[in-house]
Structure 1
């Protein structure tokens, strides 16, 4: 295999910055791609397909449109994990986008980001129907996006984060199950519809406020902190530990050093994201986090979208 022949494709993981849970109810979310990539590698076994159902579904969808790949394909999400634990960076969405992108390339098609999203999102929702698709959008586009979904109508808009904003990502030390958190939320919705509606509407209002474009990094930090507080209030009403003890401790440490932190994604574990208006504040946080024994992940945000991998 020459250096000009692609070995496969990569698609980035995601970091949800604002809009968790509210995005399920039509509110906008801000999401950014991170430089941890799922890979879909071509193999010589023409019948080999990804073992995970979401990327396998995506490959089947491409073949239904364009015919058989004529090559095998397997996926690898190890870069989105630490040891055996997932980090909450959207590994299944990234694997689905990577597999779809590689499959398109194998049949001679370079998909536009929206076409890739539409196919990968449908494949992912066929297996995991409860999500918004925001993670698939990040993995299909790369960069930073404002995302919203109302029914089948999806809006995806590339955006820029405020100049000077510094982002840190901290692993809470435990995995979280997004399907389990969503199931608990839906159970509360069924048992207490009026209380749920009030809590939902308050969160949606805060998500709309927080996701408005701002030029100042300090304004973004303030908005992120307010949304983290709203997430905590929503979780307390609904009875799910979105902002659990580790996330609270990370936020306290961020506040002590001039920033704010909140869970990224469903919460209850996985990662928290901390925001700072400048490098000095972030550096102080880094030192404090090291003293506390916290696991800060080396991640870059606004990362490149899907692309081919060469030897």
Structure 2
């Protein structure tokens, strides 16, 4: 009997969303909301999946060599498509525990929901990427390949293709990178091969204060990317023009951050926010929800910078070079009924532990 656990953090894209798809650098923060996976082995060839956040208490799949066959209804199997996709990805990589016998999978993404909303609302913090990283890491370790987790850049590149395939090949991998690496990172797809690459940066950023605000609505990133791909196909020149401007601003802002020039960084994030709004209007995506437009107007009046995070519509970030000014703005938006969500840095990234028997203490595989 063996028990293995793994977890990975969610993310917020602070700068470079959309432009990162075309090779521009992005600024990404791993946040302290984690997807957790627990595996318990047993002797049969059956996998039992428990995913309470999906309303699934015990779905069965039979493992026959490298083949995964669901023994449940199509609706339940559809909800768990990511699990099968990760398994098949590990099979292709030669990392699946095909000889491990049976096991139970316990999947917990409860940290990615807003605790005070009814019904529960999902927060746009990259839960599918975090679950992909945690699940793939746990299964690889179960198969005796825990060593692949130690080289985080190479592990990211394997997981990038795994999660990207599940998204239809449209994602940038920025959320996977945050889940693997932890901390604040500069992320970029490099070269013609679009190899995902990251560099760890200092947090908190020198002279820059941040506040994270949730609009109160959930957004489907997959839907946004699908619609964007359709717009790109029909309006290629417009797409290229907008992406070029966004990429230039993101690169300039990150260079200002490298120089510890907080004033220029915040000004450039404000310029990026304006370019992002124009991009959203052009391609028909509601990157700025009505609540976020209100926040942007309030931020402009308060002398701080506001922009959406990631695909848009749900989370946003406020930048300021003055802590007191930011605190004043926070009080104003709370009074206006906005949702300030306390999110902290997760510096660890992927983490995994194994317990051989209930009588032995856990052995840390990776932190």
Q: Secondary structure at the match of 2:105?
A: strand
- What does residue 188 of structure 2 align with? 148
**C-alpha distance in 1, partners of 2:29/2:338?**
23
- What does residue 335 of structure 2 align with? 291
- What does residue 244 of structure 2 align with? 201
Q: Deviations over 1:55-97 (max 9, x none)?
A: 4433444453263345332321110122532211000000001
**C-alpha distance in 2, partners of 1:55/1:278?**
45
Q: Secondary structure at the match of 1:65?
A: coil
Q: Which moved more, 1:100-109 or 1:124-133?
A: 100-109
Question: 2:208 touches 2:321 (CA, 8 Å); kept in 1?
Answer: yes
1:33 aligned to which of 27, 30, 35: 30
Structure-2 change in CA distance of 1:243 and 1:205 (3 Å): same
**C-alpha distance in 1, partners of 2:82/2:274?**
33
- What does residue 159 of structure 2 align with? 120
- What does residue 157 of structure 1 align with? 199
Structure-2 change in CA distance of 1:103 and 1:170 (3 Å): same
Q: Which moved more, 1:80-89 or 1:226-235?
A: 80-89
**C-alpha distance in 2, partners of 1:154/1:118?**
6
- Shift of residue 7, structure 1, vs aligned partner: 5.2
- What does residue 65 of structure 1 align with? 95
Structure-2 change in CA distance of 1:168 and 1:56 (3 Å): farther
Mapping of residues 35-54 of structure 1, within 5 Å: 35-44=32-41, 47-49=47-49, 52-54=80-82
1:231 aligned to which of 273, 276, 281: 276
Instruction: Identify unmatched segments of 5+ residues in structure 2.
Output: 52-78, 355-361, 363-367
- Shift of residue 304, structure 1, vs aligned partner: 2.4
- Shift of residue 255, structure 1, vs aligned partner: 3.3
Q: Which moved more, 1:107-116 or 1:89-98?
A: 107-116
- Shift of residue 187, structure 1, vs aligned partner: 2.1
- What does residue 17 of structure 2 align with? 20
- What does residue 106 of structure 2 align with? 74
Question: 1:39 touches 1:98 (CA, 8 Å); kept in 2?
Answer: yes
- Shift of residue 152, structure 1, vs aligned partner: 3.4
Q: Which has the higher strand share?
A: 2
- What does residue 179 of structure 2 align with? 139
Question: 2:306 touches 2:319 (CA, 8 Å); kept in 1?
Answer: yes
Q: Secondary structure at the match of 2:47?
A: coil
- Shift of residue 277, structure 1, vs aligned partner: 1.8
Mapping of residues 184-263 of structure 1, within 5 Å: 184-212=227-255, 213-263=258-308
**C-alpha distance in 1, partners of 2:108/2:15?**
28
Q: Deviations over 1:88-143 (max 9, x none)?
A: 10000000011122223323414121233123222211211110101100001101
Structure-2 change in CA distance of 1:188 and 1:66 (3 Å): closer
Counterpart check, 1:106 vs 2:136 = no
- Shift of residue 25, structure 1, vs aligned partner: 0.8
**C-alpha distance in 1, partners of 2:303/2:345?**
20
Question: 2:16 touches 2:25 (CA, 8 Å); kept in 1?
Answer: yes
TM-score scaled by structure 1?
0.89
**C-alpha distance in 1, partners of 2:353/2:96?**
22
Question: 2:253 touches 2:264 (CA, 8 Å); kept in 1?
Answer: no
Question: 1:101 touches 1:116 (CA, 8 Å); kept in 2?
Answer: no
Instruction: Identify unmatched segments of 5+ residues in structure 1.
Output: none
Larger Rg: 2
Question: 2:87 touches 2:96 (CA, 8 Å); kept in 1?
Answer: no
- What does residue 172 of structure 1 align with? 215
Q: Deviations over 1:224-276 (max 9, x none)?
A: 21111110111122222212321122223333333211110111x21111112
